[in-house]
Amino acid sequence: MTRKDRSVRLKTSASSRAKRRLRRRLSAGLLLLVALAVAGGLAAVLTPTPQKAVADESSSALLRTGKQLFETSCVTCHGANLQGVPDRGPSLIGVGEAAVYFQVSTGRMPAVRGEAQAARKDPIFDAGQIDALGAYVQANGGGPTVVRNPDGSIAQKSLRGDDLGRGGDLFRLNCASCHNFTGKGGALSSGKYAPDLEPATEQQILTAMLTGPQNMPKFSDRQLSFDAKKDIIAYVKTVSEERQPGGYGLGGFGPAPEGMAMWIIGMVAVIGAALWIGARS
């Protein structure tokens, strides 16, 4: 082999070794990048995301407004921590947003004076203030909530069930003993009474069943399912809105006042007819 051939062979061998080293370095670098990518992906999947308390500005503003309203209108009777004040007002712990909505939207609270039973009147607070006050009590005391539409508004018409017959049966079984068969209310003991249900909205009827205001019992979902409550609401609203086929409904109080009215009218008619006949004789 000549010197020239050896030189060419050495150069070729050196070039091959250089290429192999370059390929090994590139392969090692590629493997390192793949390993880093896999490790990063596993870390992202397996590492728990830290929980950060991100304050919702609208909710915070609502709670601040509710706190201000509570401190100016409710704290004297219900206490700074919702624990209640003896001989003034009950605890609000556990009553929830639903109780606030019922009591405040019907004007029963804030109470004007101490009495056997708070009567329905025009509400002092508007809808936004009622929401704020309810949110504050709910956040600090918990309890049942109101039912809302998908857009966040208070549900009303959507709370009417589909089975009026079932609603009537359930109402007569659970409510008629106090509220009468048509929801017109009636007297109870110790100066208390079951109110007329005609002015009550669907949400007010529901929240009353959920929270049991005054002398009314609570109806949990074990006693009356949500669908059963909706059927009762449908019955009450249908009865209160339907027209009286006979003309004047006499308040819808049932057969006793209607029978009395018929007796009085009949007796007057008979006596009048007798007097007229006697005068003509």
- Quickly count: other Cβ atoms within 10 Å of residue 164's Cβ: 16
178 is in an annotated binding site: yes
Phi, psi (deg, nearest 5) at residue 102: -60, -50
Cβ pair 231, 238 in contact under 8 A: no
Q: Taking the CA atoms of 22, 24, 25 and 26 in sequence, report the sign of the dihedral they define.
A: positive
Q: Collapse the DSSP code of 19 into the 3-class scheme (helix H, G, I; strand E, B; otherwise coil) and give the result.
A: helix
Strand partners, 89: 85
Strand partners, 148: 154
Q: Collapse the DSSP code of 194 into the 3-class scheme (helix H, G, I; strand E, B; otherwise coil) and give the result.
A: strand
CA 31 to chain centre: 58
CB contact set of 127 (below 8 Å; sequence gap of 6+):
154
DSSP per-residue letters across 112-168: SS--SSPPP---SS-HHHHHHHHHHHHHHH------B-TTSSBP-GGG--S-HHHHH
179 is in an annotated binding site: yes
DSSP per-residue letters across 178-192: HH-TTS--EE-STT-
Cβ pair 85, 79 in contact under 8 A: yes
77 is in an annotated binding site: yes
5 is in an annotated binding site: no
DSSP state of 51: P
Cβ pair 98, 211 in contact under 8 A: yes
- Which residues are documented as binding site? 74, 77-78, 175, 178-179
Q: Which positions make up the binding site for heme c?
A: 74, 77-78, 175, 178-179
